[in-house]
Amino acid sequence: MNQLDHSYFQQRLSAYVDGELEPSVRAQVKEHLRDCAECRDCLKEIEKLGDFIARESGLAESDYWEQAAQRIERAIAATQPKTVDLQTERAQRRASPWWWRAPAIAASVLFLGYITLNESSILRDEVLIPDQPSDTQQIPQFEVIGTGMDTNAYVFEGPSTGLRVIRPAPPAHEPKEEITDKYVRKLENKPETTLAERDHRQESGLSGQENTELDKSIVTISSPDLTTKAQHDAAPAAKMPEEVKAGNAPPAEKVVSDSGDQNYRERNREKGTFILRDTLHLTTDLYSVEKSGESGLSELQNEELTYWRSIRDSLVQQAALIKKQDSSPIGQALKYAQTPARTGLRTALSSEDPRQRTENQTETGLLEAWYQVCRLTSDSTEINQGIGFIEKVAVDQGSGNRESAQDFLQQLGKH
């Protein structure tokens, strides 16, 4: 027996124990074992290892298993549509005496009474944004719905994506003189008031001075030549309540019905300056890239490009803000949930965490903004950046925007 034979047979011992050898090879190994003490020892060790594993690999009883089972059951329940056991619910309701519910009923009555008595002023404080774009539009637009001192936030609404982004307002500072003049003129030459305000003005018979005040207080910025009814439907934002952020604001018609109120007018007059200044600042942002307009594009296309660049930049800022929140507990939990193995956890978190919804929406918006920029720009660095981003989303298995990204890439390929 030479060394080569020995190694060959020794390496077959594992398969020999498992009964995985061809009969002829098995017979050869058996014969070799008769002559080779080393291989016999090796075989014994492999067999002992099998016994050891059978004996020692079992895991101990522990509370852990029941806790884990319950956790898994909760994860399963979270993936199932919720069903209400009406019989059980009714039985539970009947089981509790009526007077237990008296405080809740009393509170509801008081609350409803308060709402009824103060209906007009409560409605006035709301910022009302239509959930859906109300007009058909060829080119997606974003508009400043409003801005407020209280929340320092802007709201963008993209009709084609349904995107709604809230970003912190830039610090209020005096715009440069020449820009201010230019854009005040620009704004004043445009139909700047909302339909609601026009109705309001007609109904209340405001004086010329009051009209000017209102014009200043409510400014709707729209993409040039692309003004739509959706923009007119938007109301000024004196304040940004939570429901706006959640995207469940009541329909815009309520604003119209609220017109003609004296307090409304006064409040806007008081805050007008600030609203105008903030809006101007943003206007400056939007058009500051005008200088870098590209040759080969029409004026309208240049404006469109500028528009999409500013939206892209806003969304990049938005994304950066989201990333900053990663150090928060929910951010940490989400980060932990990013691995593919944690689908259950991810599902549970995403159903509760508005931040993740915002993150997805931001990605949707960025995708569209980059696509539009790539379509219009001739700057190769910018195109590469944009396509890089879109490609990243297109191959991201976990992204809900993957298909859109693939479509965008296809369309860009045709350009």
Partner 1 sequence: MIEKNKEEKGSAAVDRAEDRADEQALVQAALAGDRKAFGQLLRRHQKRLFRFVYGLLGDFDQAEDMVQEAFVKAYGALGSFEGGRDFYPWLSTIARNLALNMMARERRKESLDQIHERGFDPPSGDLGPLEQLTARESQQRFYTALKALPEQYRTVFMLRHFEEMSYEDIAAQLKIPPGTVDSRLYRARQLLVAALKDLL
**Where along the sequence are the contacts to partner 1 (CB under 8 A)?**
11-15, 18, 20, 45-46, 48-50, 52-53, 56-60, 62, 64-66, 68-69, 71-73, 75-77, 79, 339-345
Q: Whose CA is closest to 316, among 385, 252, 366, 367?
A: 366
- Residue among 112, 123, 122 nearest 252 (CA): 123
Nearest to 309 by CA among 139, 142, 135, 138: 142
User: At its nearest, how many Å lie between partner 1 and the CB of residue 332?
Assistant: 14
Least distance (Å) from partner 1 to the CB of residue 342?
5
Nearest to partner 1 of 78, 169 (CB atom): 78
Considering the complex, what minimum distance in angstroms separates the CB of residue 335 from partner 1?
A: 14
Q: Pick between residue 66 and residue 266 the one whose CB is nearest to partner 1.
A: 66
Which amino acid, residue 12? R
CA dist., res. 180 & res. 283, Å (int)? 10
Pick the closer one to partner 1 by CB: 47 or 294: 47
Q: In this complex, which beta carbon is closest to partner 1, that of residue 349 or of residue 412?
A: 349
Min dist. Cβ of residue 79 to partner 1 (A): 6
Q: Which two tokens stand for residue 95?
A: 């089981």
Distance of closest approach, residue 33 Cβ to partner 1, in angstroms: 15
Question: Of 63 and 177, which CB lies nearer to partner 1 in the complex structure?
Answer: 63
> Which residues, listed in sequence order, are joined to residue 155 by a DSSP beta bridge?
166
Residues 6+ apart with CB under 8 A from 122: 115
Strands annotated E in 51-201: 143-147, 153-158, 163-168
Nearer to partner 1, 64 or 111 (CB): 64
In the complex, least distance from residue 340 CB atom to partner 1, rounded to whole angstroms: 6
The pairing of beta strand 163-168 with beta strand 143-147: unpaired
DSSP string, 211-236: HHHHHHH---B--TT---HHHHHPPP
Give me the half-sphere count of Cα atoms (radius 13 Å) on the Cβ side of residue 384.
Answer: 3
Q: Nearer to partner 1 by C-beta: 73 or 181?
A: 73
CB of 74 or CB of 229, closer to partner 1 = 74
Distance, in Å, from the CA atom of 190 to the CA atom of 231, rounded to the nearest integer, reads 13
Phi, psi of 228 (to 5 degrees): -130, 170
DSSP classification of residue 198: H
Compute the least distance from the CB of residue 45 to partner 1, in Å. 5
What's the closest the beta carbon of residue 84 comes to partner 1, in angstroms? 15
| Residue at 232: amino acid letter | H
